[in-house]
Chains A and B, each alone.
Chain A
């Protein structure tokens, strides 16, 4: 079983603050790294699929970077809003298997 770690486990920020969290994964046999946003009582929603070292992706106020050589990805949220409150999961893909991290639970306080 591969180890995919996310930190911090939970985060509380004020509305308007920018924040970031980390996904660490094995640096060998890398195929892809996915980020998902998961709101309570809903299904995970895809944010980014990253495949190349140095990839940077952006969707609105959310962006992500990827370093496959050292095995980490950062997710950034600029100007957090209450609707950003969710659990953010990363998933490391090797072969045809996905290994999910334990997630970072973000709460944005109005």
Chain B
């Protein structure tokens, strides 16, 4: 069965650079969530989209932005990267909001040097 695809899997950037992470949800899933997991921390909710519209916003810094496209894939854009942005970024997809389980992608490991 198709799973959530994230690319790239690993990314190394320098401070003040920009990064774009991509997420391709499971076919027919209309909801996408982004999470950030720092070293030794639990996942922190960043932002979610439902039917290409932002549905909620969590602890996402102003330097980050995201969108969901017409094919339901989503991109997380991160600018002016800081060392503290180094983390594992998970994307998850589901049907129609929280009544359905989320399926997580493998994550993108971002390292900022």
Contact = CB atoms under 8 A, between A and B. Distances in A.
Contact of B43 (A31, A32, A100): A100
A46 to B, nearest CB: 3
Interface in B38-57: 42-45, 48, 50, 55-57
B99 A32 contact: yes
Interface stretch (B13-21, B61-69, B103-111): B103-111
B94 to A, nearest CB: 9
Interface residues of B, number: 27
A63 B72 CA distance: 33
Nearest to B50: A96
B56 A49 contact: no
B48 A96 contact: yes
A96 B103 contact: no
B45 A99 contact: yes
A43 B108 CA distance: 11
Contact of B45 (A45, A51, A97): A97
Interface string B2-28: 001000000000000000000000000
Interface in A9-59: 31-32, 34, 36, 43-46, 48-49, 51
B56 A46 contact: no
Given A46-B101, A49-B99, A51-B99, A100 B90 contact: no
B103 A46 contact: yes
Nearest to A48: B101
A89 to B, nearest CB: 7
A102 B102 contact: no
B104 to A, nearest CB: 4
B42 A32 contact: no
Interface of A: 1, 31-32, 34, 36, 43-46, 48-49, 51, 89, 93, 95-103
Interface of B: 4, 33, 35, 42-45, 48, 50, 55-59, 90, 92, 97-107
11 contacts: A32-B98, A34-B102, A43-B105, A43-B107, A44-B92, A46-B101, A49-B100, A89-B43, A95-B56, A101-B42, A102-B42
